[in-house]
Structure 1
Amino acid sequence: MSAILSADDLNDFISPGVACIKPVQNVSGSKDGQQDEVEIQIDQDGEPLEVSKADGEASKLNPAQISLSDCLACSGCITSAEEVLVAQHSHNELTRALEENRTQQTKKVFVASVSHQSRASLAGAYGVSVAVMDKLLIDLFVAQMGFTHVVGTSLGRSLSLIYEAQNIIDRKTRGVSGPTLSSVCPGWVLYAEKTHPYVIPHMSDVKSPQQITGCLLKSLVARELGISRDNIYHVSIMPCFDKKLESARPEKYDGELPSPDVDCVLTPKELVTLIEENTNIYSLIPPHTDITKLPQPASMSNIYKQVAPKTWPSIELAWASNEGSSSGGYAYHYLAALQLHLMASDPSVYNPQEFELVTVGGRNSDVYEMRLLFRKEKVGSAAVVNGFKNIQNLVRRLKPSKSTVSSNPLANRRRARLAKANKSDDSSDTDQADPSKCDYVEIMACPNGCINGGGQISPPGDVSAKEWLASIIDRYRSIETISLFDSPDARAVSDIIHWSSQFIDEFNISEMRLSKTYFNTVEKPTDQAALLLGTKW
């Protein structure tokens, strides 16, 4: 169990459309230790040479190498600037921060949030239930490492699900064309920004559970302890390495709450490495810990309550899960919210007994579509698309058509045949899912979604990857769920919205700061020297 990336972690692959960019170190120098001024030239064989301007001595340049440390587990490519950000979010950085805090007069307060998928992965690795792992994690952070508060990400996820559903319904009501694409997966967001910026107008700007949880947790703890947010160090346990980049993304509305909402992101692999490298912590979680010997209150609710901020709205909202996919259930919750919206808009017409939710498979198990039917007629649809191979197919279908038709007659005939075939397929659209025609698409970069994130713990050598993933999904499904939109009056939704409105007023921040993100188109490099020195895959 190591946090070091290996080839096994790269469970999906995509070839970047631009050259990977990495700093090139100049290792040449004069005999007295002073570096000579050099220039790059191309010899007659097309090979790059480094030529000294002082004496004309030429030497061949070695090809630039991109190592696994330059890449994220589920991102298409990573720049050198991003690699620095990733290095700032490591178990070594957390250890350093804890050590510095012991020697400084101004003490930082450490808090943590733990995602559902990470809890399931750790529980599977140590052969315990998720509830038992929650106890161990709380004891690890609070008793062993001195953290003051630990929460699950359920409250942040619930708000993200509600904001997302409202956003899609609003776009649908306004007649916005094309599907709304989720943006809670940072690997997918990076890919879109770097290679397919034309899909950005389709992307939802609702924040992920990690970022919303960070904003809530830091603000509530700061007020409870009477300290500045700057003095709070928030560690987020996430299933994906790309979450490190998401946490480092500057806030668009940082004037309201300038300090970052998440200071360090660790994956389950890195957390295990942290435990193994600190023997006093490792002794807490051997493979067969006797749970009865750990000091604990009578119930899990009491445990959760003891380590949550006093003003956390609901203990159940701290650790409970949701229905739908193991990535959060965004597609499912949109359709559940849409049904409630239609029932509220005209109760005399939309009888809840006449709604039906059907699932339609796609080309593989990582693509499927859910359709909300009323009296057998489709009133809404949402798709789930996991893995970059399927994402590529989706973004190709969303690419704007060119204004001019190709002059190649063979290409025109082929295009006509494909159009005819697609038209034939549309006549029986219940046969196969088509995410490009849905209202909403839940997109995750990793195959099988977040439960199979690149930072999750790998299976033991005697267990197949398929069997291991199935066992982790079973543990994820064992987490108690809360229903947001299933009740006729959606009481849970109204309570959460009411509480979040109070939070916004009390802390004098905007709803945009709490719930909205943004996207940037990453320009392709045009510097020929950079393209020459960069290595293309």
Structure 2
Amino acid sequence: MSAILSADDLNDFISPGVACIKPIETLPTAPPQDASLEHEVILDGQQPSTNAPPAEISLTDCLACSGCVTSAEAVLVSLQSHSEVLNSLDSGPALRVLGPDAQGKFSVEGLEDESRNLYVASVSPQTRASLAAACGGGVTERQAGHMLERLLMGPEGLKAGGKFGNGFTWITDTNTARETCLVLGSDEVLNQTSSSPSKPILTSSCPGWVCYAEKTHPYVLPHLSKVKSPQALMGTLLKTTLSRTLGIPPDRIWHLAIMPCFDKKLEASREELTDAVWGGDGKPARGVRDVDCVITSKEIFMLTESRNIDFFSLSKTSPLENTPVFPDPILQDFLFPKRRKGSQPQEAGSSGGNLYYILQDVLARNPGSHLQTTRGRNVDVMEYIINSASGEPIFKAARYYGFRNIQNLVRRLKPAKASRMPGGKPFGSARRPTGKAAGLEHAYVEVMACPGGCTNGGGQVKVDDQVILERRNLGTKPGPDEQKALLAEVDEAYFSSGEEHAAPGSDLNGDQRPDQVAGISPAHIRDTLAHWSRLTGINLERLVFTTYREVISDVGKAKPSDSERVVQLAGKVGGGW
């Protein structure tokens, strides 16, 4: 059970839960449980039982739930915590990757012992920025990344206090997967095919927004981008490549993602993001997850506290040396470039720059065109129009951040209701008072649940967290102004990463690329994706795209019998007893 989740931490709370499909049921008597557990989930309208044990709800059950609609921060979760990371590392000796030898081949030590795993991790730039702000003193995002490497891979980190001295073999930067998602997303919007989502295409990399759409507004699902999020894409890349090149079963490759958002824990639990899709018949099922565990920025300090490690004393000046080589040279250069690009422009936003990249791609494809920006009702709503050289609009897009704004967006997308009157016109939210159709004219909309974007995620370090209170000697409880000041520091670290620039007009390794868009070479990305597909023998669409599903709500419907309810629960996609 994660002890740090509470409704008080939310800045994107939608509404209180009104029902839960996995409550305490009238089932055969269960063994007694620890009475010290605090939380109990109860059917809507049902009185709590004094003798009933507290319900345990896993992340998979919560994702399948059709009752409450809240951010994942409000959900009681029992998996994917810092404790799960330590328990996994202490479960047995880790697999060791050896090589390459003189023939360029790799081998794995300990593969015959089925209790041994290979540990890999991926880290988001928003997390590094949050940790940099927590450190203070001008620590950059890049330096915070070095500190994380020391924690996860170095001898002074988790290896020092572990039962078997285990650490992580590789740590990747999700920026690599992010740039891949940007190219795929732009192709999806600008190169429409019969299988493309309906316009306007909506960003799908925010799991809180996706969960909200699946449970409350299924009519927007045909609009969701099919491109996986950077977290999911990195998980697929690591599991498929390592299992194919090293001969390690996917269930023995343990992937940790460090993210700014608790909702990413639910994303990792999706049946659409398992080896059943890329390694089986292509259909979602309960297989081996591409991401085994997600912890957030603030949980890093719970991880260090559990091992008596002072995170702030870890070296920030230089990366680890003699890290293992990735078992494919092309993907080695792709995942671990010798020189990284510099920071993103602030116009790209703090959520990955999906919309920014598409706008730059449209401008590059239409010489002489120019961008017009219009602010909406608040700072988290913006409209973008690209006009041709002659002044004619050729592309429209928008940005909606925060659930209050998202609710306005989905109302505008709601389909018209047919009139029951003979000859009557459609009515409802799809008509404006002026009589004009209200359907969005935009080709693309970037949607994020958190106001301000991902640097303001629910899992980021907050100003009232103990680690901040102690380091900044804040005697009184800090308020919104102090939190706003800390968020400004996080944004500064995010947009001023301090990383070394590659040569102008080059890719991440300094190779000249004439086709760059916003510092990214689409041709280089596409070539790498094609290589990945050939290497693994898996169709590229299975590797990079995902699907969504409507979750039918039970709220307000007649209560079934106990036996009927058990059958329904057992048959739900992603959940059950």
The TM-score range, normalised by the shorter chain, is 0.7 to 0.9
Aligned twin of 2:163: none
How big is the shift at 1:355?
A: 2.0
- What is the TM-score with the length of structure 1 in the denominator? 0.75
Q: Distance in 2 between matches of 1:106 and 1:528?
A: 47
Q: Distance in 2 between matches of 1:176 and 1:274?
A: 40
CA contact (8 A) 1:155 1:318 kept: no
How big is the shift at 1:105?
A: 6.2
How big is the shift at 1:306?
A: 5.8
Larger relative contact order (Cα-Cα within 8 Å, sequence gap ≥ 6): 1
Aligned twin of 2:15: 15
The one-letter code sitting in structure 1 at the alignment partner of 2:122 is S
Residues 406, 115 of structure 1: alpha-carbon distance in 2 compared, 3 angstrom cutoff = farther
Determine if the alignment matches structure 1 residue 220 to structure 2 residue 241: yes
Determine if the alignment matches structure 1 residue 339 to structure 2 residue 363: yes
Residues 28, 263 of structure 1: alpha-carbon distance in 2 compared, 3 angstrom cutoff = closer
Q: Distance in 1 between matches of 2:121 and 2:400?
A: 30
Residues 264, 523 of structure 1: alpha-carbon distance in 2 compared, 3 angstrom cutoff = same
Residues 61, 381 of structure 1: alpha-carbon distance in 2 compared, 3 angstrom cutoff = farther
The one-letter code sitting in structure 2 at the alignment partner of 1:489 is D
How big is the shift at 1:339?
A: 3.1
Aligned twin of 1:123: 132
Q: How does 1:37-436 map to 2 (within 5 A)?
A: 77=69, 86-102=77-93, 106-127=115-136, 128-143=139-154, 144-145=157-158, 146-171=167-192, 178-222=199-243, 225-251=246-272, 254=276, 256-257=278-279, 259-279=288-308, 282-283=309-310, 285-286=311-312, 291=316, 296=318, 311=329, 312-314=332-334, 315-316=336-337, 320=341, 322-323=344-345, 324-340=348-364, 343=365, 350=366, 352=367, 354-375=368-389, 376-404=391-419, 419-420=433-434, 436=440
CA contact (8 A) 1:112 1:235 kept: yes
Listed one character per residue, the Cα deviations across residues 315-372 of structure 1 (whole Å, up to 9, x for unaligned) are: 34996564512101101111222234xx3xxxxxx4x3x1212321111111112222
- Greater alpha carbon shift after TM alignment, 226-235 vs 382-391: 226-235
- The secondary structure found in structure 1 opposite 2:527 is helix
CA contact (8 A) 1:151 1:319 kept: no
The one-letter code sitting in structure 2 at the alignment partner of 1:108 is N
Give unmatched runs, 5+ long, in structure 2: 30-44, 95-112, 159-166, 280-286, 469-476, 566-577
Q: Distance in 2 between matches of 1:243 and 1:232?
A: 19
The one-letter code sitting in structure 2 at the alignment partner of 1:500 is L
**Equivalent in 455, 462, 474 of residue 458 of structure 1:** 462
Q: CA RMSD in A?
A: 4.3
Q: Distance in 1 between matches of 2:296 and 2:17?
A: 28
**Equivalent in 558, 567, 571 of residue 528 of structure 1:** 558
Q: Distance in 1 between matches of 2:440 and 2:222?
A: 14
The one-letter code sitting in structure 2 at the alignment partner of 1:139 is R
Q: Distance in 2 between matches of 1:177 and 1:416?
A: 16
Residues 119, 18 of structure 1: alpha-carbon distance in 2 compared, 3 angstrom cutoff = same
The one-letter code sitting in structure 1 at the alignment partner of 2:78 is A
Q: Distance in 1 between matches of 2:199 and 2:86?
A: 46
Q: Distance in 2 between matches of 1:244 and 1:264?
A: 7
Residues 223, 379 of structure 1: alpha-carbon distance in 2 compared, 3 angstrom cutoff = same
Q: Distance in 2 between matches of 1:261 and 1:520?
A: 19
Aligned twin of 1:475: 493
**Equivalent in 521, 525, 538 of residue 509 of structure 1:** 538
The one-letter code sitting in structure 2 at the alignment partner of 1:276 is E
How big is the shift at 1:153?
A: 0.7
Q: Distance in 2 between matches of 1:528 and 1:317?
A: 61
How big is the shift at 1:11?
A: 0.5
Identity percentage over the alignment? Answer: 38
How big is the shift at 1:453?
A: 0.9
Q: Distance in 1 between matches of 2:414 and 2:208?
A: 20
CA contact (8 A) 1:334 1:382 kept: no
Residues 249, 373 of structure 1: alpha-carbon distance in 2 compared, 3 angstrom cutoff = same
The one-letter code sitting in structure 1 at the alignment partner of 2:496 is S
Residues 457, 528 of structure 1: alpha-carbon distance in 2 compared, 3 angstrom cutoff = same
How big is the shift at 1:194?
A: 0.4
Listed one character per residue, the Cα deviations across residues 469-499 of structure 1 (whole Å, up to 9, x for unaligned) are: 1110110001248889997623721112111
- The secondary structure found in structure 2 opposite 1:254 is helix
Q: Which has the larger radius of gyration?
A: 1
Give unmatched runs, 5+ long, in structure 1: 30-46, 51-58, 344-349, 427-433
How big is the shift at 1:60?
A: 10
Q: Distance in 1 between matches of 2:429 and 2:550?
A: 30
Aligned twin of 2:450: 446
- State how many pairs are aligned: 467
Q: Distance in 2 between matches of 1:12 and 1:467?
A: 19
Q: Distance in 2 between matches of 1:105 and 1:173?
A: 45
